[in-house]
Amino acid sequence: MFQKLKKRWGVNNLNLVLIICTFAIGGSLCGKAGAKFLELTNLDKGILWWLAYILSVTILWPLFVLAISIPLGQFVFFKNYLKKVWERISGRHKATIQVAIFASGAGSNAQKIIDYFKMKTSVKIALIVCNNPAAGVIEIAKCEGIPYIIINNQQFFNGDHYLQLLKEHKISFIVLAGFLWKIPVSIINSFPNKIVNIHPALLPKFGGKGMYGNHVHQAIIDKKETESGITIHYVDEWYDHGKSICQITCPVEIDETAESLAKKIHLLEHQYYPKTIAALLKKLK
């Protein structure tokens, strides 16, 4: 049960304990406050009393929970949680944007994106698409309970088999997170300006086929570049060619190695990719 809550809310063990404590303390205090309030009404403890008690507790509970969440450091979580509850009961929530993540490797960027959108009511990571059955991102999909597809080379590049699958999952936006295959034109044309990629260098330098992972970082070091970074861009029919959305830079030190530069780049990716995706999706609403 607790493991499911951790995954659902995207929190660690400590935050899970603090969240449960907030629920418990807030619920207990608002229950006592509701009873104290009804003492002032002189109502007999009958059906009317219980109806009034339930109503008062319902009104007081969000206030008490938010108040308790502040000293326990969980205010942001409960603000988002209560917003999500209100949108559901009021029927005011907007249609959810269904996002597919395409990945080929361990899936560290995919995990950060999944975690970022867990408590977002209007965005759902609805599908993982992978071309490598041994990739770590498959385990992430299983752990997170996200449907996944392992694609076949021939079917991916010939015909519209996977385009139909994307439509069946109601995908409206695609995120590439370390996906090593070129996206077929049929998919690009069906998702205009709705496919984004992150490249571990400052395009247009050090882009193109084969420029991924440590291959990119070593090429940058060999050319004695003093600066590297990430490029988040739209995807078109050529490798690393689509319109740039944003670039974030970092210095390349004199004694830099491909491994040390990779660590810098990963930090930038994890920090900026989910936020940039969120900003793009906000424009779609």
Rg of the chain over Cα atoms, rounded to whole angstroms, equals: 24
User: Could you confirm whether 199 is annotated as catalytic?
Assistant: yes
For the chain, strand residue ranges (E) read 97-103, 123-130, 148-150, 173-176, 195-199, 227-234, 244-251
What DSSP letter does each residue of 169-217 carry, written as one string? TT--EEEESS--SPPPHHHHHHSTT-EEEEESS-TTTT-STT--THHHH
**Contact present, 22 and 69 (Cβ < 8 Å):** yes
**List 93, 161, 169, 199, catalytic entry:** 199
Cis peptide before 133 (omega within 30 of 0): no
- Supply φ then ψ for residue 111, to 5 degrees: -60, -45
- The rounded distance, in Å, linking the Cα atoms of 130 and 128 is 7
Look-up of token digits 């991924």: 212
Look-up of token digits 């009034």: 52
- The rounded distance, in Å, linking the Cα atoms of 150 and 63 is 46
- Which residues are identified as catalytic? 199
